[in-house]
Amino acid sequence: MTLAFSMWIFALTGAVSPGPVNIIATTTGSQFGVMRALPFVLGATVAYVLVVVTVGLSMAIATHVVPAIEPLLTLLGSAYLLYIAYRIAVSAPLGESSGARLLVNPASFMDGFLTQVLNPKAWLVAMSGIGLFVTGVESAISPLLLFSIISFIACFTGVGTWACAGHLLRPWVSGPVSGRIFNSVMALLLVACVLWIWIG
């Protein structure tokens, strides 16, 4: 297996696994369509690549700093995810007028960026990937560049897939009852992510 293929499998596995970023992407895709979910997807992708580059350029420091700031990242990330869960839970489904909806705009580039940057898992996955594929290589710049490019493509693909899945659900979640159920389930999944971050 080539280095690039190994990086791709690692990055894509992390990107498509369920988590807060993918839950928000699915919800945004279901409420606003895949095209209007793309800014969120791009924000999450850019943030993850920034995390990868930051960790890659400062691995020696990051192995000591990230564990030290993990509680702060967890606290800030949890608060932000609970805020997003609230916005999703109280937003009216597609079938209701926009005046009755709290979530009248799709999750933005900045929402995606902040959700990803404040996600401790993103930092730990980046550290694992850098440790596996970049550290110890004679010229770390080339593997870091390759891993960053692959991470961008994998993250955009993974999060974008969840936004597309949400878009495909639109016909089934546009009614008042089914839409409220879907929004409630997605909000509860975000709350479950917060609990998992603290317990797991």
- Spans of all domains in the chain: 3-199
User: Residue 14: how many CA atoms within 13 Å on its side-chain side?
Assistant: 27
Q: What pLDDT was estimated at residue 19?
A: 86
pTM above 0.85, yes or no: no
| Contact partners, residue 16, CB within 8 Å, separation at least 6 | 22, 157, 158, 161, 162
C-alpha to C-alpha distance for 40 and 103, rounded to whole angstroms? 14
Q: What pLDDT was estimated at residue 90? A: 84
**pLDDT per residue rounded down to tens, the chain (200 residues):** 588 888 999 899 889 888 899 999 999 999 899 999 999 999 999 999 999 999 988 876 766 676 777 788 778 878 888 888 888 888 766 655 554 444 567 889 999 999 999 988 898 889 888 888 887 666 656 889 999 999 999 999 999 999 999 999 988 887 888 888 888 998 898 898 888 878 86
Q: What is the pLDDT of residue 60?
A: 61
* CA distances (Å), origin 191, targets 26, 78, 153, 173, 196: 15, 9, 28, 20, 9
